[in-house]
Amino acid sequence: MLKASIITDGKVQIERLGTELSDRGLFCSIYSNGKKTAHNVSSRALDLLFVAIDGESNNMQIMNLANSIKRESRLPVIALLSKKALSRLGSSLAADDFVVEPWDADEIAIRAKRVLGKTEEANQELIQCGDLTIDLARYEVYVDKRLIELTFKEYELLRFLARNKGRVFTREALLNEVWGYEYYGGDRTVDVHITRLRSKLEDPEHTFIETVRNIGYRFKENA
């Protein structure tokens, strides 16, 4: 069963909707807007976030909260809107889709699975190794959600190793794979780039690249 959370200020109608969605394979936990909501939602292993917005002024808080959770967790978001909220929403909420009341559980379930299907396609462009994320579409690297600034060759070397984690490569092999056969520099270039990667990526809590004595390097199998 898929797991979702609904953030709302009006729980009666939402509770009924949550039950109907559970009957359709989408288990929903419900949270009222509050200071602890972001922590409670972010700490759960979720597939999707719903945000119920009725168009009142205090819903700006809910939209800000949802945007914050989306940035941190990259969860897909579906907005459940009143007709009043539809006319006021604009671009304030970073939602992947929306449904206008009266809400139909069958429609919402279909839209949820459609959004999650798109998310799965997008995730094919990510390499995830523990707290390390390599976004292949954006050429970006994150450690524990913190953006790491890399040079192009540092990025290419990291991407190659992470795609082949657990496999040992000699310096010569890495030169050929990352720099190409026409590169005439020495294999010291690999050592320098590995050192720079470690200084940018690793700390006492994160180790990703291992040295294999007298051979070369590998990306940790269990990273």
- Which domains, from first to last, does the chain contain? 2-123 (3.40.50.2300), 126-219 (1.10.10.10)
Residue 96 is predicted with a pLDDT of 83
- Residue by residue, pLDDT tens for the chain (223 residues) are 788 888 887 655 788 888 899 888 888 888 876 656 666 666 567 788 888 887 665 567 777 777 777 776 677 888 888 887 776 665 566 778 888 888 899 999 988 888 887 665 555 678 888 899 998 878 899 998 889 999 999 999 999 999 898 899 999 889 888 887 555 667 788 999 999 999 999 998 899 999 999 899 999 987 6
CA quadruple 53, 48, 13, 101: dihedral, nearest 10: 50
The Cα-based distances of 203 to 47, 99, 146, 199, 207 in angstroms read 30, 44, 13, 8, 7
Strand partners, 210: 218
CA quadruple 116, 48, 64, 87: dihedral, nearest 10: 60
Residue 133 is predicted with a pLDDT of 92
**pTM exceeding 0.75:** no
Indicate the burial class of 159 (C-beta count within 10 angstroms; 0-12, 13-18, 19 or more): middle
- For 167, the enclosing helix (H) or strand (E) is none
Q: Which residues contact 66 (CB under 8 A, 6 or more apart)?
A: 7, 49, 51, 77, 93, 94, 95
> How far, in whole angstroms, is CA 170 from its chain's centroid?
32
Write the DSSP symbol of residue 101.
Answer: S
